[in-house]
Chain A
Amino acid sequence: MKHKTFFWFILPTALAMLLFIALPIVSVITQSLFTPHEQVFKTVENCTPFKCTQSTTIDQEATEALREAQPLGRFVGLSIYLDRGHLAFGEVAQAWQSRDGFGDFFNKIGNLPFYRAMAFTLSYTFVVTPLLIILGFMIAVAVNSLHRHLKGLVIFFSLLPMIVSPLIGSLVLFWMVDSRGVLGTGLQWLLSNPDLSLKASTGLTWIMLMVYGVWHSAPFAFVVFYAGLQTLPKDTLESAMIDGATRWQQIRYVVIPHLMPLVTFVALIQLMDNFRVFEPIVGFNAEAHAQSLSWFIFNDLGGETRLLSSASASSVLTILGVAILLSPVLIRTWRDFNSKG
């Protein structure tokens, strides 16, 4: 395709992304390198309906001139990235110097919010992504062999976990897995442990979140694979049959290679989404047991006092994390691209 034709084809979508994603990313990166000016305080008397008290407030006039001169705030370089809320280099170094064996060192690291969140996020990503791909593939193959009158209904019900908004879907499940809810009671009966509570233990909360993650995203993989299966060349499959390939061999040597580009696609998208896991943590009220970078951002932006620089730094770290996570898949895509080109 000629450059010029390509340009006109790509222009609308590129413009939308440039304006609404690229520009904000630039501003977020800038934001993460600057912090608000040092505040000047003054002691004042405050009166509320209840009583008057001496209190501290920000002296707006004192910092006004400074703000006019440097509207972006103080330039702090990477110090937000390195503070305790993020990479915490200082704390890690200290933990290393004062370590009492590796166990103690990892304990101390595990107490830092960023590393703790990483522990959960990475386990979540690497458990959920493969499982949902496998489940989605199995559903796609099974549904594909159904009678065509049944397919519409089955597709609709299969989509339900995705259709119901994650915020609401996880809330509904949250009520159901309560130790007195239907699933919670079922599990207690199944494991004959009447005191079992999924929400009170970190390990069980992780498992609950992961099961939810697979359940919620499997329909995505299912629909993509199902659509892919429709383009499966029938003659290839038939000639494989004639050659005496077993059903398993057909799947292994014909169906899977045919779907491979789609598997890569689903893996890319799901690795990214799972790395940014957020809604289930909020929906399942699991903040005490599991946190992620996206949850940090939510927390920084949702507090009474918003931490914009910190949220920006977490966002940039998310992008970097995703880039690292996806690099093997991307290198593969690059090779495919070159060999094709």
Chain B
Amino acid sequence: MSSKAFKQPWTLRTASSVFVIAWLILAAFPFLWTLWGSFKVELDFFSKADWRNALTGARTMAEHGSSFTGNGYSGAWVQEEFWRAVFNTAIVCFFTVAISLTIGTLGGYALSRSSYRYTFWLLITALIFRAMPPITLVAGYLLPFFEWNLWGILPTTIVVLVAINQPFTLWMLHSFFQKIPKELDESAKVDGCTQFQAFRHVIIPVMWPGVITTGLFSFLLAYNDFAVTSMLLEKENQTMVPKIASFLGTTQTEGNVMFAVAAVVSATAPLFILVMFFQRQIVSGLTQGAVKG
């Protein structure tokens, strides 16, 4: 792969490594800080008395005789049954990504291969659709969903997330498909394939870098969504983010911040495992992407 032409001089290599390390610290520090703090008691985590308490765990020591405690985790997972939310999130994410990508790939491919004017206007319309703030959309869904008994269940939320996510998916896949040379499927069609067969046999094998990237964002959207999931799911079907938000308490009642902190860390752990486990696939999907132009 790496030819001599791409060898970097060591100064540039060092500068670029330093930059990557600086960025990694910047990106990961708040998370690592939260990870460390999640084993402390609330007062240490907030450390309003002295910021060093968050490192040393002075109050945790006074309370538990050790500077680490798993109370936040046991509270969130056992007492508050956070695993339910994890399970719901897994379902929502899986189906949202699968459906979004399936219909988005078809649509994005068609948009990239048609040169009629209306494709442009369709893309613009999709973009304008995306400008609509999700909270207003969701507020509009409430009445009909209650009326038709669709409110509160996971499938409704999945369909809504897919729809809200479509404009983005379309745009992203459209721009990736444009990078795949038209000659590929044109020649397949000359060989007697239908458009769909050309798509199926020629395009699908080479589209993975774009699809994986788009899928990653669809996944993150479903995973992080608050506006839709908090309004459209009933308590027992809640996903992780609204569940975590509910640990924080309201004006008149006490929340349990440490449950929230432990849950935030727990919510990220499966992703870490997922990325580590599929690292080869993701990286090779992104890297060796079969686009040979």
Contact = CB atoms under 8 A, between A and B. Distances in A.
A154 interface: yes
Interface stretch (A71-79, A92-100, A161-169, A199-207): A161-169
Interface in B246-293: 248, 260-261, 264, 267-268, 271-272, 275-276, 279-280, 282-283, 286-289, 291, 293
A193 interface: no
Contacts of A169: 30
Contact of A17 (B8, B20, B166, B275): B166
A158 B170 CA distance: 25
Interface in B83-111: 102-104, 106-107, 109-111
B201 interface: no
A294 B113 CA distance: 36
Contact of A1 (B113, B124, B272): B113
A180 B196 CA distance: 61
B167 interface: yes
Contacts of B5: 237-238, 241-242
Contacts of A340: 115
A297 B20 contact: no
Interface in B109-163: 109-111, 113-117, 119-120, 122-124, 126-133, 135-137, 139-141, 159-160, 162-163
Interface string B220-248: 10011010000000000000010011001
Interface string A319-334: 1001100100010011
B163 A172 contact: no
Given A1-B195, A215-B26, A272-B130, A167 B288 contact: no
Contacts of A301: 135-136, 139
A272 B131 contact: yes
A322 B131 CA distance: 6
A142 B140 CA distance: 45
A50 interface: no
A333 B175 CA distance: 12
A152 interface: yes
A182 B47 CA distance: 9
Contact of A294 (B116, B135, B260): B135
A17 B126 contact: yes
Interface in B2-45: 3, 5-6, 8, 12-13, 16-17, 19-20, 23-24, 26-28, 30-31, 33-34, 45
Contacts of B135: 294, 297-298, 301
A21 B28 contact: no
Interface in A152-188: 152-169, 171-173, 175-176, 178, 180-182, 184-185
Interface of A: 1-3, 5-6, 9-10, 12-14, 16-17, 19-22, 24-25, 27-28, 138-139, 141-143, 145-146, 148, 151-169, 171-173, 175-176, 178, 180-182, 184-185, 215, 219-220, 223-224, 226-228, 230-231, 233-234, 237-238, 241-242, 247, 261-262, 265, 268-269, 272, 276, 278-279, 293-294, 297-298, 301, 308, 311-312, 314-315, 318-319, 322-323, 326, 330, 333-334, 337, 340-341
11 contacts: A9-B110, A13-B107, A16-B166, A24-B140, A28-B132, A142-B16, A180-B51, A181-B51, A231-B179, A265-B171, A272-B131
